[in-house]
Structure 1
C-alpha cells in the first residue's frame, strides 16, 4: 500500500506542476493532458482505499498499525483532491484568452505550485517515515502559500480596477490561484496525519493563516 501511496503522491504533484506550465505558456493541449491525467489519479486513490479496507478486514491490525492505515487512507484522499485542483487549473487555462494578464501573475502562480509540490512531497515523506519534525515544518510553511496568494489577489484586483476588459481573465487567474492555495491546505492536512501517526495526537493549535480569506 505504501508504494501505491507514494506513486499517487508523485502523480498529483506532477499534475499540479504540469498545470502551472500549461498556464504559463497558455498551452491548451498541455492543459488537456492534465485534465486527462486525473482519471489515473482517481483510479489509484480508489485502489488504495480498497486495499486499506481489505487489510483492515483481513488482518485486524493493532492500534498503531490501524493509525497508519487510516492515515494513508485520509492522505490518499487529500492527494486525490490535489489532482482535482490541478484539473481545475487546466480547465481555467483552457478558457483563458491569449490577452490574459499573464505577465508576472503566471510566474507567481508557478512559484506557488512549486512550493505546494515541495510541501506535498515533504508531508508524504513525513507520513511514511513518521517524522513529526518534518510534519511540523510543513504545517508552518503553509503560511508562505497563503501570503503568496494574498499578494496575487491584491495585484489582480488592482488590474481589474484599471479596465473592465481585465475582469474576466483576472477572475480566471484568481480562481486558479485559489485552487493552488487549497492544494497547499491538503499538504497541511497530510502533515497533520503524519503528526497523529508519529505522536498519537492531532495538533491542538489552529493552523497559521496569513489573514486575507476570499471564498470562491
Structure 2
C-alpha cells in the first residue's frame, strides 16, 4: 500500500503519531544542517573566508550527534511499538537517510579542509567556476530529495534520480579539463589536486541525494530501486 503524509496521522495512539512525526522532524533538521554545511564550505572557498571554512571543518560532531540521537529514537520506536507495514518502512527509511546525511556532513568537512588549503596557499586556482556550478546542482538535488521525503513525493524523488547522471557528466568534464591544465602547468598540481578533491566531494553529495530519493520511493511504494535505472521507474510510480 502506498503511503502519504496523512497515513501517519491515523493511529489510535496519539503518542505513536507524535513519535513518527518527531522522527521526520529530526531528519529534516539534520538535512538542513548538512545542506548548510555544504553551502558554507563552498562559499568560504569562493570568498576566501577561512573562518567559515574552519567552522564547517570543526562542526562534524554536531552532525554525528544528530545521527546518534535519531538512531536511538528509531530503536526505541522499533522496540516499543513493533511497527509493521508502512510504519516500519518509515522507521527504516529514516535510519538509512540519516546515514546518508552523516556522509554528506563528512563531504562538507572534506570541502572545508581543502578550502582552507587553497585559501592559505594564497593562490587563485583554476576550477572555481566548476565548483560553483557543481555545488549549485548537487545542493538542489539534496534540497529536492529532502523535500520529497517531507512530502512523501515520489515524483520529485524521481526527478532527483534523473539528475544524478547529469552531475556525473559535469564532474567528469570538469576533472578532464583540470587534468589537462595540470599537464600544461606542473606548478599548479598541488592546488588543482585540492580542487579535484572538492569536486569529488560534491559529486558524492549528489550520490547521497540520489540515495535519499531512493529511500523515499521505498518508503512510499515499498520498492527497492537501488539498482534500477530511473527511466524504468516511470510506470511503477504512476499515481
Q: Which deviates further from its counterpart, 145-154 or 198-207?
A: 198-207
Q: How big is the shift at 1:109?
A: 0.9
Q: How big is the shift at 1:141?
A: 0.6
Per the normalisation by structure 1, the TM-score is: 0.91
- Tell me the residue number matched to 2:228: 205
RMSD across aligned positions (CA): 1.5
Q: Which deviates further from its counterpart, 69-78 or 21-30?
A: 21-30
Q: Identify which of 86, 98, 104 aligns with 2:108.
A: 86
- Tell me the residue number matched to 2:74: 52
Matched, 1:21 2:43: yes
Larger Rg: 2
Give matches, 1:56-75, under 5 Å.
Answer: 56-75=78-97
Q: How big is the shift at 1:129?
A: 2.1
Matched, 1:108 2:123: no
- Tell me the residue number matched to 2:217: 195
Q: How big is the shift at 1:162?
A: 1.2
- In 1, the alpha carbon distance for the partners of 2:105 and 2:35 equals 8
Q: Is the 8 A contact 1:17 1:110 kept in 2?
A: no
- In 2, the alpha carbon distance for the partners of 1:85 and 1:92 equals 11
- Tell me the residue number matched to 1:32: 54
Per the normalisation by structure 2, the TM-score is: 0.82
Q: How big is the shift at 1:88?
A: 0.4
Q: Is the 8 A contact 1:92 1:172 kept in 2?
A: yes
Q: Is the 8 A contact 1:135 1:192 kept in 2?
A: yes
- Tell me the residue number matched to 2:169: 147
Q: Which deviates further from its counterpart, 114-123 or 176-185?
A: 114-123
Q: Is the 8 A contact 2:158 2:230 kept in 1?
A: no
Gaps of 5+ in 1: 209-216
Q: Is the 8 A contact 1:24 1:107 kept in 2?
A: no
- Encode CA deviations 1:130-162: one digit per residue, 9 max, x unaligned: 211111110011122112211210121121011
Q: How big is the shift at 1:125?
A: 1.9
Give matches, 1:143-182, under 5 Å.
Answer: 143-182=165-204
Q: Identify which of 8, 17, 34 aligns with 1:12.
A: 34
